[in-house]
Amino acid sequence: MQGLTAIAVGLVLGMGALGTAIGFGLLGGKFLEGAARQPEMVPMLQVKMFIVAGLLDAVTMIGVGMALFFTFANPFLAPVTGG
């Protein structure tokens, strides 16, 4: 694996984790604001919160998959090595 690919993989994983953490923080804060404003809407808000949380995790897993692809089956390495 090339050094720049390792840096790119680290950035993909790190930024993915950072984005997910920020997303979960915003999501939880808005959920609590909505629950405090209208307590009768908590079940509906909770369902929507879990759907969005699943989508946030899916985006992170796509980033992890891409990082693993670049780590083990690097498509950029063949032109450099002539293979």
The single-letter DSSP state of residue 39 is: G
State the catalytic residue, choosing from 57, 61, 62, 77. 57
Element (H, E) at 4: helix 3-37
47 in catalytic set: no
Vertex 59: Cα angle to 53 and 61 (nearest 5): 100
From the number of C-beta atoms within 10 Å of its C-beta (0-12, 13-18, 19+), residue 74 rates as: middle
Q: What is the pLDDT of residues 50-63, one digit of tens each?
A: 999 999 999 999 99
- Fold of the domain spanning 3-73: F1FO ATP Synthase (1.20.20)
pLDDT in the model for residue 83:
58
Cα 43 from Cα 71, distance rounded (Å): 42
Q: Would you place residue 47 in the very low, low, confident or very high pLDDT band (cuts 50, 70, 90)?
A: very high
Provide the residue ranges of all domains of the chain, joining segments of one domain with +: 3-73
Asked if 57 and 20 count as a contact pair (C-beta separation under 8 A), the reply is yes
